[in-house]
Amino acid sequence: MVQIILIFIVAMIGYLGYFWPIANVQRPLVMGMLTGLVLGDIQTGIIVGASLELVFLGSMAIGASNPPDMNSAAILGCSYVITTGAAVAQGVAIGVLVSMLMQIVWNFIMAVLVPMLGAKADKYAEEGNTAAIDRIHVISGLLETVPLAVLTTIGFYVGSEVMEGLIDKIPSFITSGLNYAMGIIPVIGFAMLARMIMDKKTACFLFLGFILVAYFNINIIGVTAIACILVAILLFNGNQVQVVKGEATGHNEF
Amino acid sequence: MTPVVEKLHKDNPEKKSRALKRGLDFMAITPQLVPFLMGINAAMEEENANNEDFDDNTIVAIKTSLMGPLAGIGDSMIAGTLRIIAAGIAIGFSMQGSILGPILFLLIFNIPALIIRYYGLKTRYTKGAVFINNAEKSGVMEKVTYAASIVGLMAIGGMIASYISLDLTLKIGRGEFAEPLTNYLDMIMPCLIQLGLFGVTYWVLGKKVKTTWLLLGIIIICIIVCAIFHL
């Protein structure tokens, strides 16, 4: 029972992610760690969280659209692996499935219920009632989060009992198929990000980063450092080259 | 915005009502840049409250015109670059189950993000919107976006090579000389499979295929292949 309450609290921390001064608490990396902490196996929690983080790396709220729900995915995926001792890939697969189902519920709340409150807020604005508008902000914040956290907790309560019975019945080709799929799926996130920020001018840098790791085994910290130096060279020294060129042509005229 | 509006338009209910309605207009922007915009907004509302001839439509106009460029730069710098780098570094530690991973993730992302938030609110409130218009005209915005996308793309490129795994254990050759297919491909170029997978996914996403279907597709293909080859 204590665990169920704690899971609910973790879920609320995640769903209220956008309201904390510290950002990205709702990402699977952190949620996985917290779930692990509640269930007494922090290491497994972090490993599952990291795998899910890779899967969802490209998912984020752009404009007014909702990404798949990562909180329930991390919480239920991690608790599945920790309570049943299943492979990480299975936990990730369950997380992905849960996130899609929860996204539907979330979209319903955002598309149907929150605009109704928005209409109310417009009316209060007409009357100049600031206190009521503040109240609406709080209510819509809770409306977006509490139902989802409750659903996650129910999933945790029901799921861990049902899953334990199921685990032995899954045929091996499905588990190994999932294992392969989980190795590949992060590529979707990378491709989505690249679609967002890459153009013809910058595509070469993606390959540069790739080759640095593929051939020289530099880690991401190293790649980032090299990238920063490159930017400095391109932006600061680029101007100097132009100046020097200008001077050079100036000299030629003499 | 309600505390600012309440303070500035206390004695003028009509202006207050209009200001509140403006506050509820649609906004879509990177969360870390919200204080930046609110600072500008607060400064303009103050001007509006003190100056009788101020046309309050300019507030809406400036807010809307800043939304695009700010969100563009914010999404590419903060959500597209800073978060990716933070996650890329943290996942390396986390895969081994180290608690350093999540902690580093939060620190690397939040320290710069909080600084941006704090100074965003402060400097923009004092200097107004002039700065951002100048920056846009002089091409500084473009340069910053360009720089951010270089760093972001290099990190993504690196992660393609290090965080995607697909071992083709299918053996080629006979007896002693049998070697997994992966080894042959690595001789051509290390991580060639990863790059190929990225290319295919990138192309498919360009065909406006929804990510959910892509995700399910990969899972189903993997399961079918495993069922056929009894892996």
Residues of A in contact with B23 (CB under 8 A): 125, 133
Instruction: Decide if B16 contacts A128 (C-beta within 8 A).
Output: yes
Determine contact: B166 vs chain A, CB below 8 A: yes
Please name the residues between 58 and 117 in chain B that touch chain A, using a CB distance below 8 Å.
75-76, 79-81, 83-92, 94-99, 101-102, 105-106, 109-110, 113-114
Spatial separation of the C-alpha atoms in residues B60 and B79, rounded to whole Å:
26
From residue B183, alpha-carbon distances to A75, A216, B20, B180 in Å are 37, 17, 65, 6
Higher local confidence (pLDDT), A62 or B184: B184
Do B125 and B211 have their domain in common?
no
Contact state of B153 with A209 under an 8 Å Cβ cutoff? yes
DSSP A112: I
B72-95 confidence digits (pLDDT tens): 666 667 766 788 888 888 888 888
Contact state of A223 with B222 under an 8 Å Cβ cutoff? no
Domain boundary among A197, A216, A238: A197
Number of domains in chain A: 2
Non-local CB neighbours of A236 within 8 Å, separated by 6+ positions? none
Spatial separation of the C-alpha atoms in residues B203 and B214, rounded to whole Å:
12
Domain boundary among A162, A178, A197: A197
Do B61 and B114 have their domain in common?
yes
Spatial separation of the C-alpha atoms in residues A232 and A250, rounded to whole Å:
27
Do B139 and B176 have their domain in common?
no
Asked which of B28-42, B92-106, B162-176, B193-207 is least confident by mean pLDDT, the reply is: B162-176
Contact state of B195 with A219 under an 8 Å Cβ cutoff? no
Q: Give the tokens for residue B28.
A: 């879509």
Do B202 and B100 have their domain in common?
no
Task: Tell me the average pLDDT of chain B.
Answer: 72
pLDDT of chain A, 254 residues: tens digit per residue? 788 888 888 888 877 776 666 777 778 888 888 888 888 888 888 888 888 888 887 665 544 456 778 888 888 888 888 888 777 888 888 888 788 788 778 777 777 777 777 777 777 777 767 777 777 777 877 877 888 888 888 888 887 667 666 666 777 777 777 778 878 888 888 888 888 778 788 888 888 888 888 888 888 888 888 888 888 888 777 555 444 444 444 444 44
Number of domains in chain B: 2
Do A97 and A49 have their domain in common?
yes
**Complex prediction ipTM:** 0.71
Contact state of A125 with B24 under an 8 Å Cβ cutoff? yes
Do A192 and A208 have their domain in common?
no
| Best CA proximity match to B102, nearest among B85, B117, B89, B121 | B89
Contact state of B162 with A186 under an 8 Å Cβ cutoff? no
Domain boundary among B163, B193, B210: B163
Do B11 and B92 have their domain in common?
yes
Mind giving me the DSSP string for A20-72?
Answer: SSSTTTTSHHHHHHHHHHHHT-HHHHHHHHHHHHHHTTT----TTPPPP-HHH
Do B181 and B113 have their domain in common?
no
pLDDT at A192: 81
Do B130 and B191 have their domain in common?
no
Do B82 and B155 have their domain in common?
yes
Range of the domain at A11: 2-197
Contact state of A209 with B6 under an 8 Å Cβ cutoff? no
Range of the domain at B207: 171-229
Determine contact: B13 vs chain A, CB below 8 A: yes
Residues of A in contact with B160 (CB under 8 A): 187, 190, 206, 209-210, 213
Looking at chain A, which residue has its C-alpha nearest residue B107?
A22
Taking CA A219 as the corner, what is the angle to CA A217 and CA A223, rounded to the nearest 5 degrees? 100
On the question of pLDDT at B69 being above 70, the answer is: no
Do A25 and A109 have their domain in common?
yes
Do B138 and B225 have their domain in common?
no
Do B143 and B46 have their domain in common?
yes
Do A149 and A210 have their domain in common?
no
